[in-house]
Structure 1
Amino acid sequence: MKKQLTETSKFLSYVLRHNPGEIGLTLSSEGWADLSELILAARKAGHDLDVELIRAVIDGSEKKRFAISEDGRLIRALQGHSTDAVDIRHQPKTPPEFLYHGTATRFLGSILAEGLLPGQRHHTHLAGDIPTAFAVGQRYGKPVVLKVEALRMHQDGFVFFQAENGVWLTEKVPASYFSPMPQA
């Protein structure tokens, strides 16, 4: 069952964040998809989904990547979109003094040279705590956590948002606003 949940989560991430057209799905500008249309389109594409499986993925995930609307008819990814069709209107929010970004040490050279960039996504993602950032970094190799001076950035005119799942978002983080944390 765990393998099925992981595979379904990856499929939902791909379709709801990056390529809904792959299965003939259309997202609203806020990233919402009709849940029944998602299930039908997924089945036509060879992915056996149902509401119970989707809810199990959402309820069982610590990362809280997805949300179902209050009426239970719509689903969306909360952040991490790369498709131009989606432009979620997050409300600007003042960040705490520090936020954190987890990455792999192999990326550190280019990050120190260029800063943190969103890549294909709409925003750069930051965590509110070190353990979360560390866990993200571990997904990509030997982890390193960058300590970001978020409040100073905000005071200098950078805009921050916080997604429904607690992930902090900003356009980019110039290298002058962060430093690698010592590894324990």
Structure 2
Amino acid sequence: MNLVELSKEISYALRHAPWEYELELDELGFVPIVQLLHALNESGAYECEVTQADLEQIIATSEKKRHEIVADKIRALYGHTVPQIIKKEPGIPPAVLYHGTTHRALPQILQDGLKPMQRQYVHLSIDVETATRVGKRRDPEPIILKIDAESAHKAGLQFYIGNDKVWLCKEIPKDCLSIFTPKTLPCNTAV
């Protein structure tokens, strides 16, 4: 079984179109595992039956930690585009977070701040590497924004835990953003 393709379908079902799978997300975004498995297996798209062990393997081996199983339920941790607001666990973010974006989007972001666009939350990364990887999905040379999360949080913005590398927020005001420029070491010059 192709677990990467299965993971993508699970993400689609839990983040974007649960109704296509006859699933109903609860207020935290969970659905019973048995319902998800029934929907996946009913489609006939997989050469063998999808099991809970397959779901657990996807979660255990994923670098991005997109899904979570709690008791007999599963959910996507972030990235929802469903109209229903998914409640997230609030938290105190690191002092600085990062966001990778495109050259095309930058002028609008600098004017209006970061907005969630078609998603429910703005996704923020804990490090430059993750923000760069995310940004490269839409721009080969992404712009990395540095977010003063500490100031934003002190000003009353609520941050939510996405996973161990992702934080979520409804929006980031422009005064909490700057363009990240890596510090470069001076060149050694021969005399």
Place the TM-score, normalised by the shorter chain, in its bin: 0.7 to 0.9
Which residue of 1 is the match for residue 162 of structure 2? Answer: 163
Residues 61-72 of structure 1 correspond to what in structure 2 (within 5 A)? 61-69=62-70, 71=71
**C-alpha offsets along residues 25-54 of structure 1, whole Å, 9 cap, x if unaligned?**
111111111111101112223443322322
SS in 1 for 2:153: helix
Please tell me whether Structure 1 or Structure 2 has the larger radius of gyration of its CA atoms: 2
Do 1:26 and 1:33's aligned partners in 2 also have CA atoms closer than 8 Å? yes
Partner Cα separation in structure 2 for residue 86 and residue 108 of structure 1: 27
Q: Distance between the aligned counterparts of 2:3 and 2:103, measured in 1?
A: 29
Point out where structure 1 has 5 or more consecutive residues left out of the alignment: none
Which residue of structure 2 aligns with residue 54 of structure 1?
55
Superposition TM-score, scaled by structure 1 size: 0.88
Specify the SS of the correspondent of 1:125: strand
Q: Report % sequence identity.
A: 37
- Aligned pairs for 1:132-171 within 5 A: 132-142=130-140, 143-171=142-170
Per the alignment, residue 121 of structure 1 pairs with: 119
SS of corresponding position for 2:145: strand
Aligned to 1:17: 15
Matched, 1:36 2:34: yes
CA contact (8 A) 1:78 1:165 kept: no
Which protein is richer in helix relative to its size? 1
Question: 1:126 and 1:138 mapped to 2: Cα distance?
Answer: 14
**CA RMSD for the aligned pairs?**
1.9
Mean CA deviation greater in 56-65 or 101-110: 101-110
1:105 is matched with 103
List runs of 5+ in structure 2 lacking aligned partners.
185-191
User: Offset of 1:74 from its aligned partner?
Assistant: 1.0
AA partner of residue 121 (structure 2): H
Judged with a 3 Å threshold, the aligned counterparts in structure 2 of structure 1 residues 121 and 74 are, in CA distance, closer, same or farther, namely same
Per-residue CA deviation, residues 129-159 of structure 1 (Å, 9 max, x unaligned), is 1111111111112222100111111122211
Check the 8 A contact 2:88/2:160 in 1, yes or no.
no
Q: Distance in 1 between matches of 2:85 and 2:56?
A: 22
